[in-house]
Amino acid sequence: NNSDQNTFLSVLNEAQKAPVLHKDGPLMVIAGAGSGKTRVLTYRIAHLMRQEVDPFNILALTFTNKAAREMKKRIAELVGGSEAKNLWMGTFHSVFARLLRFDGDRLGYPSNFTIYDTQDSQRLISSIIREMGLDKDIYKYKQIQQRISSYKNSLITVKAYFQNPELLEADAMSKRPRLGEIYQNYVDRCFKAGAMDFDDLLLRTNELLTRFPDVLMKYQDRFRYILVDEYQDTNHSQYLIVRALADRYQNICVVGDDAQSIYSFRGANIDNILNFQRDYDDVGMYRLEQNYRSTKNIVNAANSIIANNKNQLEKVVWTANSEGNPIRIHRSPTDAEEGRYVASSIFEHKMQQQLPNGSFAVLYRTNSQSRAIEDALRKRDIPYRIYGGLSFYQRKEIKDVLAYLRLVINPGDEEALKRVINYPARGIGQATVDKLVVAANQTGKTVFEVMESLGSTDIGIHAGGRRRLEDFVTMIKSYQVLDATADAFTLAEHVAKKSGLLQEFKKDGTPEGIARMENIEELLNGIKDFVEGQKEIADARGDISEFLEDVALATDLDMDKGDDDRVALMTIHLAKGLEFPYVYIVGMEEDLFPSAMSMNTRSELEEERRLFYVALTRAETQAYLTYTQNRYRWGKLIDAEPSRFLQEIDEKYIENLTPEDSYQFRPMLNAAIFGEVDKRNLRREKPVAGKPPGQNQPTEKQLRRLRKIRPQLSQPSGSEGVSLEGLKEGSLVDHSRFGKGTVLKIEGIGNDKKAEIRFERGDVKKLLLRFAKLQIL
């Protein structure tokens, strides 16, 4: 009824209501960060359900599975009941993996196909290169894997590759004339192993929908309403799937922001937005302009940054939120110092505003930057979680257990087999495995099938070796027998014990071995949880194949159950769509951000700038931008220059926390002042090319750049000592890093004058006044 409708939609503004209430037909919402695009998608789905659209007929594609889970939960609250469970919702990869489980047999895949992760793909490619006798310095397996991946995402099949003279020539020119053969072998081997890699999940879906009109019809009819979040980052393969599925009913709703397109390096295609109006008739176009996430300062600063991009759709973003603090820019001498600054700033905010750890995020351009931040957070006992590093499921011991389980489901899975056939060691050598692989390639059988038929065919393996291989086959088969009746947990526990894996780590006895055992335990707990959860779902059995499906496509964000309170550390790419009250963007330096690899063309630089726009617009209350003067990169200490992006922010919205006078700050002195000996810094002092130790002064170039950023930097400010005249025992002071404190004692004279201060957070420090960033209160 009407009043019900009104309360339901009362949490939306008028501009948001329009796309939610848009009747059937295609629509697109293009709007800036934080304007409620995801919220619109959520409410549109809830609204459809309230209009009696069957959730089985709704497909929603999100950027992470976590986003899908949260959206589902929200929708369940909005519509009540348990119907929301029946929505098809998830990432492109997880949704279409599911579709391929149902209909992949049309393409010759078993329904229990394995999903190869990037590491599996790389291993396979590396062994193909070896088997083909190619030079591994020319045929670099990682590069080749990326190459194959990009072919697949552009729907260039092996056949299409060989028919394309340009590609053939390009690879011949780069001295890799046999790349096509590698591609061919790789595809054949995956297929024979009953495996799909990540790219196959999209490529094969496309193939399925193109080659089999009846399958296409079935899913067109099923997915009468299709919704896509973060549409600006869909690649060509994804675009084609959506277009095919939506073709019949045309009930397609996409939301996105061209200014947040940050995955073109992975094939995302901004044209998908631009072409939308061409692809469909009568497209409803909607714009949202009000940002609800961030303060005025953040919104305006972000607008001033993105205005530097030539290539963009015109857009307005404003907010009725409060002004907030300016964006704070902070410079540190080194990356270790930067980490310490971030940790102490988080600490101070936590204390002063009584905030949970989850209010903070530290964002960086590359994963390697996390280490310095981690070290600093650990020293301060601030719990954190890293997203996108080595995820739990990528750890060696976890992959070992999972490999056994994968074999149970699909013994043809060659990468899983090779991983554990001799782990724990059971006397099966590489030479034996090579013979198996050769035999498999010659006969078209899988390696496992070759092992099963050793009794009848001689492939030159001696009796002892044969017996050990047969034992392995028997072991896997016994697990399969158990799997027929047991749930995932029972099977996994049995396998961890009987395969000898747990024993192996226990025997090891080192702290690493113990940590590995604990991780396996954690895995078993996770499986138990999963089994419990599956019980709620009608046709689920809670068996291991269901679990493996879940895990194969899990991202780190999915691991986050939100049950513990931690600071989030992640790359900017991963942060898309998320929001945090306090955001620290670290490493704002030339060659790092923008990345050295992305400054060759305007379009690359503009993508970096969009990345910066994404980063800044994650912040709700306060944003910090930090950079360093010196940073260790590739094992060398290099002079760092502040990022050009810092200059691009309108000065009105920023506050510089580190005026020029603190340039004297040197790692050696730092150790002396704070009593914290950072061995890395001590070691690092020497190798600065052409400079005596202790003279890490900024270069002329750096200073020029800095002056450009903040004109006031060029004015020499008075030395700190002057402002500290009057400092005596009992004075109340405020330190930029340590907060408020009381002076206990003053000693020394001139340049050596020091103050011993007890800070409110509890510790006592001796500070050299010449450098201390103190204010008398």
Among 19, 27, 30, 39, binds ligand ATP (CB under 6 A): 39
Binding residues for ligand ATP, how many (CB under 6 A)?
19
Strands, DSSP E only, in 434-555? Answer: none
Contact predicate 226/25, CB 8 Å: no
- Say how many C-beta atoms besides its own lie within 10 A of residue 218's C-beta: 15
90 is in an annotated binding site: no
| In the complex, minimum distance from the CB of residue 554 to Mg ion, in angstroms, rounded to a whole number | 21
* DSSP symbol at 281: S
| In the complex, minimum distance from the CB of residue 69 to ligand ATP, in angstroms, rounded to a whole number | 15
| In the complex, minimum distance from the CB of residue 770 to Mg ion, in angstroms, rounded to a whole number | 49
SS3 state at 595: strand
Quick one: CA dihedral 226, 228, 232, 233, positive or negative?
A: negative
CB under 8 Å to 317, separation ≥6 — which residues?
31, 32, 33, 34, 35, 289, 290, 291, 299, 302, 303
Among 19, 35, 109, 556, binds ligand ATP (CB under 6 A): 35
- State the helix-helix crossing angle for 501-508 and 488-498, rounded to 10 degrees: 50
Quick one: CA dihedral 385, 389, 391, 395, positive or negative?
A: negative
Whether residue 667 has a cis bond before it, omega within 30° of 0: no
Residues listed for the chain: 777
The interface partner of residue 34, options being Mg ion, ligand ATP, none and the CB cut-off 5 to 8 Å by kind, is ligand ATP
Q: Please, which residue, 38 or 269, has the CB nearer to Mg ion?
A: 38
Q: Please, which residue, 293 or 710, has the CB nearer to ligand ATP?
A: 293
Residue 539, strand partner residues: none
What is the distance between the alpha carbons of residues 578 and 67, in angstroms, rounded to a whole number?
A: 9
Would you state the structure tokens that stand for residue 34, as one six-digit string? 């934080």
| In the complex, minimum distance from the CB of residue 67 to ligand ATP, in angstroms, rounded to a whole number | 9
What is the side-by-side order of every strand in the sheet holding 58-61?
Answer: 88-90, 58-61, 225-228, 252-256, 27-31, 284-288
| 36 binds ligand ATP, rule: CB under 6 A | yes
| In the complex, minimum distance from the CB of residue 231 to ligand ATP, in angstroms, rounded to a whole number | 11
CB under 8 Å to 382, separation ≥6 — which residues?
343, 346, 347, 350, 357, 567
| 256 binds Mg ion, rule: CB under 5 A | no
Binding segment (CB under 6 A) for ligand ATP, from list 36-44, 87-95, 172-180, 429-437 = 36-44
- Phi-psi region for residue 180, left (φ > 0), alpha (ψ -120 to 50) or beta? alpha
Contact predicate 687/636, CB 8 Å: yes
Binding segment (CB under 6 A) for ligand ATP, from list 37-45, 212-220, 306-314, 631-639 = 37-45
The interface partner of residue 662, options being Mg ion, ligand ATP, none and the CB cut-off 5 to 8 Å by kind, is none
Q: Please, which residue, 75 or 203, has the CB nearer to Mg ion?
A: 75
The interface partner of residue 744, options being ligand ATP, Mg ion, none and the CB cut-off 5 to 8 Å by kind, is none
What is the side-by-side order of every strand in the sheet holding 580-585?
Answer: 384-386, 567-571, 360-364, 580-585, 619-628, 327-332, 654-656
Among 542, 577, 642, 741, binds ligand ATP (CB under 6 A): 577
Q: Please, which residue, 36 or 642, has the CB nearer to ligand ATP?
A: 36
Going by DSSP bridges, is the β-strand pair 774-776/732-735 parallel, antiparallel, or unpaired? antiparallel
Contact predicate 302/33, CB 8 Å: yes
Q: Please, which residue, 29 or 377, has the CB nearer to ligand ATP?
A: 29
Element (H, E) at 397: helix 396-409
| In the complex, minimum distance from the CB of residue 44 to ligand ATP, in angstroms, rounded to a whole number | 12
The interface partner of residue 261, options being Mg ion, ligand ATP, none and the CB cut-off 5 to 8 Å by kind, is none
34 is in an annotated binding site: yes
| In the complex, minimum distance from the CB of residue 37 to Mg ion, in angstroms, rounded to a whole number | 5
Q: Please, which residue, 20 or 625, has the CB nearer to ligand ATP?
A: 20
Q: Please, which residue, 35 or 206, has the CB nearer to ligand ATP?
A: 35
Q: Give me the 248-287 binding string for ligand ATP, x by CB under 6 A, dash otherwise.
A: ---------x--x---------------------------
Contact predicate 291/39, CB 8 Å: no
| 64 binds ligand ATP, rule: CB under 6 A | no
Contact predicate 718/659, CB 8 Å: no
CA angle 376, 382, 387 (to 5 degrees): 80
Strands, DSSP E only, in 68-171? Answer: 88-90, 114-116
Among 28, 30, 33, 215, binds ligand ATP (CB under 6 A): 33
Binding segment (CB under 6 A) for ligand ATP, from list 31-39, 142-150, 195-203, 377-385 = 31-39
H helices present in 193-248, as ranges: 198-211, 213-222, 236-246
Binding segment (CB under 6 A) for ligand ATP, from list 5-13, 199-207, 324-332, 645-653 = 5-13
- Say how many C-beta atoms besides its own lie within 10 A of residue 11's C-beta: 11
Among 9, 13, 162, 264, binds ligand ATP (CB under 6 A): 13
Q: Phi and psi at residue 755, in whole multiples of 5°? A: -125, 135
* Residues of this chain, 20-49, that bind Mg ion according to CB under 5 A: 37-38
Distance of alpha carbon 556 from its chain centroid, rounded? Answer: 7
Q: Please, which residue, 234 or 410, has the CB nearer to ligand ATP?
A: 234
| In the complex, minimum distance from the CB of residue 298 to Mg ion, in angstroms, rounded to a whole number | 16
Among 22, 37, 176, 765, binds ligand ATP (CB under 6 A): 37
38 is in an annotated binding site: yes
* Residues of this chain, 612-631, that bind ligand ATP according to CB under 6 A: 617
* Residues of this chain, 164-203, that bind ligand ATP according to CB under 6 A: none
| In the complex, minimum distance from the CB of residue 610 to ligand ATP, in angstroms, rounded to a whole number | 12
Element (H, E) at 740: strand 739-747
| 11 binds ligand ATP, rule: CB under 6 A | yes
| 292 binds ligand ATP, rule: CB under 6 A | yes
Identify the residue whose tokens are 């089985």.
56
| In the complex, minimum distance from the CB of residue 374 to Mg ion, in angstroms, rounded to a whole number | 28
| 577 binds Mg ion, rule: CB under 5 A | yes
510 is in an annotated binding site: no
What is the distance between the alpha carbons of residues 771 and 777, in angstroms, rounded to a whole number?
A: 18
Q: Please, which residue, 375 or 579, has the CB nearer to ligand ATP?
A: 579
* DSSP symbol at 331: E
Q: Please, which residue, 65 or 490, has the CB nearer to ligand ATP?
A: 65
What is the distance between the alpha carbons of residues 368 and 371, in angstroms, rounded to a whole number?
A: 6
| 38 binds ligand ATP, rule: CB under 6 A | yes
Binding segment (CB under 6 A) for ligand ATP, from list 34-42, 54-62, 442-450, 506-514 = 34-42
The interface partner of residue 33, options being Mg ion, ligand ATP, none and the CB cut-off 5 to 8 Å by kind, is ligand ATP
Which candidate, 322, 173, 317, places its Cα nearest to that of 622? 322
35 is in an annotated binding site: yes
The interface partner of residue 11, options being ligand ATP, Mg ion, none and the CB cut-off 5 to 8 Å by kind, is ligand ATP
Please give the positions annotated as active site.
Answer: 37-38, 229-230, 260, 618
The interface partner of residue 79, options being ligand ATP, Mg ion, none and the CB cut-off 5 to 8 Å by kind, is none
Binding segment (CB under 6 A) for ligand ATP, from list 8-16, 115-123, 465-473, 526-534 = 8-16
Q: Please, which residue, 36 or 324, has the CB nearer to Mg ion?
A: 36
- Gyration radius of the chain's alpha carbons: 29
Annotated binding site for ATP: 31-38
Footprint of ligand ATP on this chain (CB under 6 A)? 11-13, 16, 31, 33-39, 257, 260, 292-293, 577, 579, 617
Footprint of Mg ion on this chain (CB under 5 A)? 37-38, 577
Annotated binding site: 31-38
